[in-house]
Structures are given as structure tokens and as C-alpha cells.
């Protein structure tokens, strides 16, 4: 594995960990962080989060990562699952 | 036979003027009371408009001060309309039913107490705290006080004030429209408002007064669905409307005009439209004249229902249909043709229906009008029984342990309350549940389980929940306040915001246990739980929309109460029409300084010449649980009757804003030999 790739994997893992912990602590999901499937839908039938949880999640992502999500439907697509959130955070970090 | 309660006057403090004459003039002109907010800075929000009370647009005084002032103005306006001298109220049997929620760190009974004191109202002052349905329910309960002979005249309505915190909470939930809201129209979202409105409701023959309309019936229901969103098919709204029609003894085809909740949000308007079509059918649903007054007055929260009833009464009396201000074209999933002329247009109707829905899925509908038919028949009164009880406080996890606290008459040494709700209700999503919700859900679940009730199918709709609670759970209040301090007004904790209501525990419990029947959260300070039992018993006796109601109470203390958990408590009694060994034979409700009258009423209803054998008082050793202590006394009385200690028992409580007395009797045949 090249250094670049292993750095990428390490930072992705770190962000993934943090996002999972936000979900457990703030959303009070009764599930260990490691057990949260990164591809499971957060809302509806997946992890069962709802619109009120979404409000808090958006605030947490802004506070912890500085990820600013507007109220547009595209923004909502970015918080469909843990992985889409991690993607958005990494994309933002790359741009800056 | 009983006479339908009469509406003889009303008064307002609203965004279309203070005083009913001003509101009437503005409504008839098609005026809109929504304007840029001046009272606080909205520059960090995406919405900037509100519907503030005329003349108070820049008034930055404390919300409780404004609430009292709006309430006082509207009450005096209503008394003038009903040609009642405020000085004369002391000599009549007058009650106050007040819809007020005061999001946040306030006990709601204080407002009722101060308004009652100002107007020398000697009778019961009952606060109903179910957010946006508060004043609608207050009118329904007010009508019941007349129907039940608990008062001769009731001032029923509600008050609310638009505060920065309230605005911030709704803003965070993303439900505020940028411009003035247009219910059912293309602008999505609601506009918050404020104000106060009161009806004067009285029994026929009380005095020489003009009857302006009759209250024909009301209906309550719960969605048991979500803390802020309505159930999308409008199931709960439809149930409340059907129950109101049933109570009024009329069919949907007799309703000439429908005043919808119509907040303007996507979720509310769509769910409500589903409900209307489900009750009225697709054809009548599309043709019945319906509108939402929120385009004029914004969403006045706890005062919304009464302001909408008053707007309807003004228009009805003039032969006009209220219009939906601002509506310029329908949105998908809404009524295609709400009444939306620039000004109210002529419409002749004798019966109107007004519907409101609230956070947590509380729904309430009212049927009222001028219909010149014979007075409403009150059906035969049904006997009401207590089936099971559950109690929870420091040192007592059931009524047997409660009984030993009674016997020892000393505080328990063990001050911890042990609940593992997740273990008791493994299939229920309890994420984010606050302390009051946890305690209430635990006792309600245990009482229903002991009664062998599984809430499935129709049993869900036939089971109600009446809760006595003084305020929102302190942990939610704390979470909301600290989120604002730490993150600013634009980023409040939305979950905590949704739980800032006294009714949050009732809604969470109803959702966890699937209770969809009539439900509410009421408050008279001390003794609130006993009033919840009295209202439940009365509703079961004279209504047909439920088979059982869980009458409950919950208290959660803030930190600083000596001994930690002492003061956290909850109690539930399952009241029903199915016979058990303990019957509720008498209830009485009177003013806070008239406990003797409450007791006399209960004794009279019981019809026995002798007093009850046993008097059970509140638990002396456990202090600081105002809502629950009287429920504990009633649960203990039930326990004592079952143990054969007596054949009849009374619990009487001099509450903060009302006195309540309940007499229970054993139905077991006792052989003296």
C-alpha cells in the first residue's frame, strides 16, 4: 500500500469512527459504534432515525467537522448513510 | 336530558387587533396580521415574519407578563360581549379552562391562578397543555363542566406568546415559511403567531343572555406516531372529527363549514386533507366549504384553536365563510378549492366544525353552531370502574409497597427509583425518551399489563390517556436551554425542543404503548392527578368514544430537592366501563378554596346519606410531588377497598387552582355474618 493510500484509509477510518460515535451519543442509537453498518440507511427503515434527528445530526456535523449542509434536497442525500457522510466530509477536506 | 352549553360571548387579543370588534372588521376586510418581526432579531434565521398582537409588536417584556396581559384583555373583552359585569363573577359558579403550554421552564397553573385571581373567579381553573390543541380542548372541557353541572358559566380559551426560543425551535425543525404562510397553497411552511381568545360558555336559564351559538360536541384523539410529525394518513385527525360528530349527534353531511388546522406545512396540510376525505368522503370532502384562518392570524399555538373558533363565529353570525388569506392556488396533496376569496363571501350554515392538531399527535375537533334544533340529549350515564393501578416513587414500585409507606408514615430509606424500561418494553423505540416520559410510560404500561390489556386493533382507538402534569420534564428543559447557550439560537437541540411541552410525556407514552383514544394533559398544580381521574371518569360515563382511560400523573423534580430522586413519581389508574370490584361513584370539582363544595358534589352524585367509611389523604412522608400525590391516595384507596378494609372511600384534594373529590365504593357483596 502506498503512503498516500494508507493515509487516506487511516483518515477515512478516523472520520468513520467519529461519525459512528456521534450517531450513538447524540442520536442515542442503542447500538455499539462498530456495529453501525456504514451503508445502512440512517432514516426510515434503516437505523430508524427521523426528521428531528436529522436536524441534530446536521448541527453536530457542522460543529465537529465544519460540514455545512444547506436545506436543499441534495444536502439531504449527503446524510443518507454513514458512508455518504464520510464522503462529504472527505470531499470538503480535499477542497480546502 | 341536558341543555347544550351556550356561547354567549367572546373576546380576543390578536394580530388583527385587540378586541373582537377589531378582529371582526379586519377579517371581513380580508386583512392579514402577519408582518416582519420587530420584537427580537431574526437576522440569523431564514424566516422573518410573525403574527404579533397589535400594539405589542415591539414589546420585549417577559413572556409570562405578556401572557397574563393578553389573557386579561381577551377575558374582559369576552365578558363585555356577554354583558357580564366583571364584578359579578364572584357571585356566580364560574370556572376557567385555559389552554396554555408555555414552552419551557414554567409551571402552567401559575397563569391560570393569576388570571382567576384578577377576575375573582371562585370556581375551578383548569389548564390544558397540549400545545396547538390546548385552547380547543379547553373549550371541550369547559363545555363538559357545564354539561356535568360542575359550573354554571365557564371562561374557556387560551393564550400564547411568540418568544425567540419558540421561533428558534420551529426554525430548527424547518417548518417556517419565508413569507406569510398560505395554508394549502404554494408557499410551504407555517408562520408563528400569538394572542389570546376566550369564549363565555354557560348553561341555559342561568341569566337573561343572548345565545350566540351552541357547543354541540367535541372529540379528542392521539396519533401515537411521532413527537412532531402528524401521522401521514391523518388517522388521528379523522378519529377526533368522528368523535366530535358523534358527541354532537350529527352526521358529517350536516356540517356547513369546516375550519381546518391548516398550518401551511407539507406534513400537516397533507395529513389533514387525508383525514377530511376519510370522514367526509372524496366528493363531499372536495365540496364542503373549508378554510384555514392561519393565513390571517398565523399559528397562535395554544391560542390558535379558540381564535379560529371565534373567527368562525364572527363570520357565521354574519352569514359569511371565513377565507384562507394568501391562497393563490392549490398544492399537490391538498384540498383543490379551499375558500380563498379576498374577503369572506356569503355562506349560510348552521353548524361548523373546527379541527386542530398538535405536537405529539394530539388532535381535537369541535362542533358548534346556531342549529335551531332541540337541545342535545346526554345519553344515559354509564357506571365507571377502576380495574388496575400502578405506582412508582422512591421506595415503592407498586401499590403494595405504597401501602407500607402509608402504614409506616415515614419516608422510605431507599430513595432510588429503579426502572429498566428497555427491558420492560423490548420492542419499543425508546431513543431520547426523557425522565417524565420514562416514568409515565412505566406506570401506564404496568397498569395496562396488569389489566391484561394488549393494545392491538380497535383497542388502541378505544383506550384513552389523561395525564396530570405541571410542566415539561426538567432534563429536556435543561438540554434545550444549554443547547441555546452553547450553540446559539439558530442551533437549538430539536429533540429537546419537541419535548418542551407538559404534554410531551403523554405523547411519548401514547406512542410507546399505542394509545390512540381520547387524551390530554391537564394541570391544576397540587391535585392534578386526581383531576385527571375525575375527567376520565366523567368522559367514560357520558361519552361513547372509549372503553377505558388511563388516568395518570407524573412529577419530575429539578435538582436541588433534598434526597435526590425523592419527588420523582408517577401513578396510573385504569378506569373503564367493564365492571370490577371498585366503582367510581361520585366526583366533584370546585374552586381551590371550596373543597367542601367538591366533596358535597361527589356525595350528591353518590346518592348515599352516609359519608364514605374511609378518607385517604395525600402521603405526608413523600413531599414535592404535586401532580402525583393525590393519585397515590386514590390508588391506595382502591387497594384498601380491595383488601376489605372498608366499603367506600373518599379522596379529596384542595389543589392549587381547583379542588377535586372522588368517592369509590366496593361492588363486592359483603356478608356481615
Nearest chain A residue to B426 by CA: give it.
A30
Q: Residue with C-alpha cell 384583555?
A: B73
| CB-CB under 8 Å, A55 with B173 | yes
What span, in angstroms and rounded, lies between the C-alpha atoms of B138 and B95? 11
Q: Is the per-residue pLDDT at B356 higher than 80?
A: yes
Residue of B172, B174, B495 to mutate, testing the A interface (most A Cβ within 10 Å of its Cβ)? B495
pLDDT digit string, tens, across residues B499-550: 999 999 999 999 999 999 999 999 999 999 999 999 999 999 999 999 999 9
Nearest chain B residue to A50 by CA: give it.
B226
B398: burial class by Cβ within 10 Å (0-12, 13-18, 19+)? middle
> Of B106-110, B185-189, B597-601, which gets the smallest average pLDDT?
B106-110
| CB-CB under 8 Å, B494 with A56 | yes
B628 vs B621: which has the higher pLDDT = B628
Given its phi and psi angles, is residue B326 left (phi above 0), alpha (psi -120 to 50 degrees) or beta?
left
Q: What's residue B561's pLDDT?
A: 47
For the record, the C-alpha cell of A51 comes out as 426528521
Q: Is the per-residue pLDDT at B672 higher than 50?
A: no
Domain of A81, in residue numbers: 3-95
Chain B positions in Cβ-Cβ contact with residue A28 (cut-off 8 Å)? 431-432
Residue of A29, A36, A43, A56 to mutate, testing the B interface (most B Cβ within 10 Å of its Cβ)? A56
Chain A positions in Cβ-Cβ contact with residue B495 (cut-off 8 Å)? 52-53, 56
| CB-CB under 8 Å, A29 with B495 | no
Query: B499 vs B199, B344, B514, B521, CA distance in Å?
Result: 29, 38, 18, 13
How many other CB atoms are found less than 10 A from the CB of residue B220?
A: 31
| CB-CB under 8 Å, A71 with B174 | yes
Q: What is the CATH number of the domain that holds A13?
A: 1.10.1200.10
Q: Residue with C-alpha cell 454513514?
A: A82
SS (H, E, C) B259-294: ECCCCCCHHHHHHHHHHHHHHHHHHHHHHCCEECCH
How many other CB atoms are found less than 10 A from the CB of residue B271?
A: 26
| CB-CB under 8 Å, B498 with A52 | yes
Chain B positions in Cβ-Cβ contact with residue A51 (cut-off 8 Å)? 173-174, 228-229
Confidence of residue B1 (pLDDT cuts 50, 70, 90): very low
| CB-CB under 8 Å, A30 with B226 | no
* Residue A71 forms contact with B (CB below 8 Å): yes
B282: burial class by Cβ within 10 Å (0-12, 13-18, 19+)? exposed
Alpha helices by DSSP H, listed for chain A, are: 3-26, 51-65, 73-77, 82-95
Q: What's residue B212's pLDDT?
A: 95
A43 vs B372: which has the higher pLDDT = A43
Nearest chain B residue to A72 by CA: give it.
B174
Q: Out of B229, B431, B493, whose CB is closest to A51?
A: B229
Q: Is the per-residue pLDDT at B447 higher than 80?
A: yes
Percent of chain A past pLDDT 70, that is, above it, reads: 97
| CB-CB under 8 Å, A71 with B228 | no
Partner residues linked to B94 by β-bridges:
B153
Run of H or E residues at B444: helix B435-450
For the record, the C-alpha cell of B146 comes out as 357545564
Percent of chain B past pLDDT 70, that is, above it, reads: 96
Partner residues linked to B202 by β-bridges:
B6, B153
| CB-CB under 8 Å, B498 with A30 | no
pLDDT digit string, tens, across residues A24-56: 888 877 788 888 999 989 988 788 888 888 888
Q: Is the per-residue pLDDT at A3 higher than 80?
A: no
pLDDT digit string, tens, across residues B257-290: 999 999 999 999 999 999 999 999 999 999 999 9
Residues of chain B contacting A, Cβ within 8 Å: 46, 172-174, 226-229, 422, 429, 431-432, 487, 491, 493-495, 498
Q: Out of A28, A50, A55, whose CB is closest to B172?
A: A55
* Residue A50 forms contact with B (CB below 8 Å): yes
* Residue A68 forms contact with B (CB below 8 Å): no
B442 vs B101: which has the higher pLDDT = B442
| CB-CB under 8 Å, B429 with A48 | yes
| CB-CB under 8 Å, B487 with A59 | yes
**Number of residue pairs across A and B with CB atoms under 8 Å?**
36
| CB-CB under 8 Å, A52 with B495 | yes
Q: What's residue A1's pLDDT?
A: 61
What span, in angstroms and rounded, lies between the C-alpha atoms of B72 and B651? 34
Nearest chain A residue to B432 by CA: give it.
A28
Q: Whose CA is closest to B93, among B587, B590, B588?
A: B590
- DSSP letter for B87, please: G
* Residue A27 forms contact with B (CB below 8 Å): yes
Structural contact between residues B526 and B579, judged by C-beta atoms closer than 8 angstroms:
no
CB under 8 Å to B331, separation ≥6 — which residues? B184, B185, B186, B188, B269
Q: What's residue B378's pLDDT?
A: 55
Alpha helices by DSSP H, listed for B119-253, are: 134-147, 164-172, 235-248
Q: Out of B227, B429, B491, whose CB is closest to A52?
A: B227
The stretch B294-304 carries a mean pLDDT of: 98
Q: Is the per-residue pLDDT at B376 higher than 50?
A: no
Nearest chain B residue to A29 by CA: give it.
B431
Q: Whose CA is closest to B6, among B376, B443, B330, B297?
A: B376
| CB-CB under 8 Å, B173 with A51 | yes
Query: B66 vs A25, B96, B325, CA distance in Å?
Result: 38, 19, 27
| CB-CB under 8 Å, A53 with B495 | yes
Percentages (nearest 5) of helix, strand, coil residues in chain B: 35, 20, 45
SS (H, E, C) B502-555: CCHHHHHHHHHHCCCCCEEEEECCCCHHHHHHHHHHHHHHHCCCCCEEEEEEEE
Confidence of residue B429 (pLDDT cuts 50, 70, 90): confident
B57 vs A9: which has the higher pLDDT = B57
Size (chain A), residues: 96
Q: Which domains does chain B have, with CATH numbers?
A: 6-369 (3.40.47.10), 384-666 (3.40.47.10)
Chain B positions in Cβ-Cβ contact with residue A52 (cut-off 8 Å)? 173, 227-228, 494-495, 498
Q: Is the per-residue pLDDT at B560 higher than 70?
A: no
Confidence of residue A74 (pLDDT cuts 50, 70, 90): confident
If you average pLDDT over every residue of chain B, what do you get? 93
Structural contact between residues B331 and B185, judged by C-beta atoms closer than 8 angstroms:
yes
| CB-CB under 8 Å, B229 with A30 | no
Nearest chain A residue to B497 by CA: give it.
A52
Structural contact between residues B70 and B274, judged by C-beta atoms closer than 8 angstroms:
no
Residue of B431, B438, B476, B486 to mutate, testing the A interface (most A Cβ within 10 Å of its Cβ)? B431
Half-sphere exposure of A89 (CA within 13 A, CB side): 25
| CB-CB under 8 Å, B491 with A52 | no
In this structure, what is the dihedral angle of CA atoms B430, B431, B437, B443, given to the nearest 10 degrees? 20
* Residue A65 forms contact with B (CB below 8 Å): no
Nearest Cα of chain A lies from the Cα of B229 at a distance, in angstroms, of 9
Nearest Cα of chain A lies from the Cα of B174 at a distance, in angstroms, of 8
From the centroid of its chain, how far is CA B48? 30
How many other CB atoms are found less than 10 A from the CB of residue B375?
A: 12
For the record, the C-alpha cell of B97 comes out as 379552562
| CB-CB under 8 Å, A63 with B498 | no
Give all strands (DSSP E) within B399-489, no chain letters: 463-468
Query: How many distinct structural domains can be found in chain A?
Result: 1
Largest Cα separation within chain B, whole Å, is 81
Q: Whose CA is closest to B17, among B49, B57, B48, B62?
A: B57
Q: Out of A27, A28, A52, whose CB is closest to B228?
A: A52
What span, in angstroms and rounded, lies between the C-alpha atoms of B9 and B310? 9
Amino acid at each position: 500500500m502506498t503512503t498516500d493510500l494508507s493515509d487516506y484509509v487511516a483518515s477515512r477510518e478516523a472520520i468513520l469512527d467519529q461519525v459512528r460515535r456521534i450517531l450513538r451519543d447524540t442520536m442515542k442509537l442503542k447500538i455499539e459504534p462498530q456495529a453501525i453498518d456504514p451503508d445502512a440507511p440512517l432514516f426510515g427503515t434503516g437505523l430508524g432515525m427521523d426528521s428531528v434527528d436529522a436536524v441534530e445530526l446536521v448541527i453536530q456535523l457542522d460543529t465537529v467537522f465544519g460540514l455545512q449542509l444547506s436545506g436543499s434536497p441534495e444536502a439531504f442525500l449527503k446524510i443518507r448513510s454513514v458512508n455518504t457522510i464520510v464522503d462529504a466530509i472527505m470531499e470538503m477536506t480535499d477542497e480546502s | 336530558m341536558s341543555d347544550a352549553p351556550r356561547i354567549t360571548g367572546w373576546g380576543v387579543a390578536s394580530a388583527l387587533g385587540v378586541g373582537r370588534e377589531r378582529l371582526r372588521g379586519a377579517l371581513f376586510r380580508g386583512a392579514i396580521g402577519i408582518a416582519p418581526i420587530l420584537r427580537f432579531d431574526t437576522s440569523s434565521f431564514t424566516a422573518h415574519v410573525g403574527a404579533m398582537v397589535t400594539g405589542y409588536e415591539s414589546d420585549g417584556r417577559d413572556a409570562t407578563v405578556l401572557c397574563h396581559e393578553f389573557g386579561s384583555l381577551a377575558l374582559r373583552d369576552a365578558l363585555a360581549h356577554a354583558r357580564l359585569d366583571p364584578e359579578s363573577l364572584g357571585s356566580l359558579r364560574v370556572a376557567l379552562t385555559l389552554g396554555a403550554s408555555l414552552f419551557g421552564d414554567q409551571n402552567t397553573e401559575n397563569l391560570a391562578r393569576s388570571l382567576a385571581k384578577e377576575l375573582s373567579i371562585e370556581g375551578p381553573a383548569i389548564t390544558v397543555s397540549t400545545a396547538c390543541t390546548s385552547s380547543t380542548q379547553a373549550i371541550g372541557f369547559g363545555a363538559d363542566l357545564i354539561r356535568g353541572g360542575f359550573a354554571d358559566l365557564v371562561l374557556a380559551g387560551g393564550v400564547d406568546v411568540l418568544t425567540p426560543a419558540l421561533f428558534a425551535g420551529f426554525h430548527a425543525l424547518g417548518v417556517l415559511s419565508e413569507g406569510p404562510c398560505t395554508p394549502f397553497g404554494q408557499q410551504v411552511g407555517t408562520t408563528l403567531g400569538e394572542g389570546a381568545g376566550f369564549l363565555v360558555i354557560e348553561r341555559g336559564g342561568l341569566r337573561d343572555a343572548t345565545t350566540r351559538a351552541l357547543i354541540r360536541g367535541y372529540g379528542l384523539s392521539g396519533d401515537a406516531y411521532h413527537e412532531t410529525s402528524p401521522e401521514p394518513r391523518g388517522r388521528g385527525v379523522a378519529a377526533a372529527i368522528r368523535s366530535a360528530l358523534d358527541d354532537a349527534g350529527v352526521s358529517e353531511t350536516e356540517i356547513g363549514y369546516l375550519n381546518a388546522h391548516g398550518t401551511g406545512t407539507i406534513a400537516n396540510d397533507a395529513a389533514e386533507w387525508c383525514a377530511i376525505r376519510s370522514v367526509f368522503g372524496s366528493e363531499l370532502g372536495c365540496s364542503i366549504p373549508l378554510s384555514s384562518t392561519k393565513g390571517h392570524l398565523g399559528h397562535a399555538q395554544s391560542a390558535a384553536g379558540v381564535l379560529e373558533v371565534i373567527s368562525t363565529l364572527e363570520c357565521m353570525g354574519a352569514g359569511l365563510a371565513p377565507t384562507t388569506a394568501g391562497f393563490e392556488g392549490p398544492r399537490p396533496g391538498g384540498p383543490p378549492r379551499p375558500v380563498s376569496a379576498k374577503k369572506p363571501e356569503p355562506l349560510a350554515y348552521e353548524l361548523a366544525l373546527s379541527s386542530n392538531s398538535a405536537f405529539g399527535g394530539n388532535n381535537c375537533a369541535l362542533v358548534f353552531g346556531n342549529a335551531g334544533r332541540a337541545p342535545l340529549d346526554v345519553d344515559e350515564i354509564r357506571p365507571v370502574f377502576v380495574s388496575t393501578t400502578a405506582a412508582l416513587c422512591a421506595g415503592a414500585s407498586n401499590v403494595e409497597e405504597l401501602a407500607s409507606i402509608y402504614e409506616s408514615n415515614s419516608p422510605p430509606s431507599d430513595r432510588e427509583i429503579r426502572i429498566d424500561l428497555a427491558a420492560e418494553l423490548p420492542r419499543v423505540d425508546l431513543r431520547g425518551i426523557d425522565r417524565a416520559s420514562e416514568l409515565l410510560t412505566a406506570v401506564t404500561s404496568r397498569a395496562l399489563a396488569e389489566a391484561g390489556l394488549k393494545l392491538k386493533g380497535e383497542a388502541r382507538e378505544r383506550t384513552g390517556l389523561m395525564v396530570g402534569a405541571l410542566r415539561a420534564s426538567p432534563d429536556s428543559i435543561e438540554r434545550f436551554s444549554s443547547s441555546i447557550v452553547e450553540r446559539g439560537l439558530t442551533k437549538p437541540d430539536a429533540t429537546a425542543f419537541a419535548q418542551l411541552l407538559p404534554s410531551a410525556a403523554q405523547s411519548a407514552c401514547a406512542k410507546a404503548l399505542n394509545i390512540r383514544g381520547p387524551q390530554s394533559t391537564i394541570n391544576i398544580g397540587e391535585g392534578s392527578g386526581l383531576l385527571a381521574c375525575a375527567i376520565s371518569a366523567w368522559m367514560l360515563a357520558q361519552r361513547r368514544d372509549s372503553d377505558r382511560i388511563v388516568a395518570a400523573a407524573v412529577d419530575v423534580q429539578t435538582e436541588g430537592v433534598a434526597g435526590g430522586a425523592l419527588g420523582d413519581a408517577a401513578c396510573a389508574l385504569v378506569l373503564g366501563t367493564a365492571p370490577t370490584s371498585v366503582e367510581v361513584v361520585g366526583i366533584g370539582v370546585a374552586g381551590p378554596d371550596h373543597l367542601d363544595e367538591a366533596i358535597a358534589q361527589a356525595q350528591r352524585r353518590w346518592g348515599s346519606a352516609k359519608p364514605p367509611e374511609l378518607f385517604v389523604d395525600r402521603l405526608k412522608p413523600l413531599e414535592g410531588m404535586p401532580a402525583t400525590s393525590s393519585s397515590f391516595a386514590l390508588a391506595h384507596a382502591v387497594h384498601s377497598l380491595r383488601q376489605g378494609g372498608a366499603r367506600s372511600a373518599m379522596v379529596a384534594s384542595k389543589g392549587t387552582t381547583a379542588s377535586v373529590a372522588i368517592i369509590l365504593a366496593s361492588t363486592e357483596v359483603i356478608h356481615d355474618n
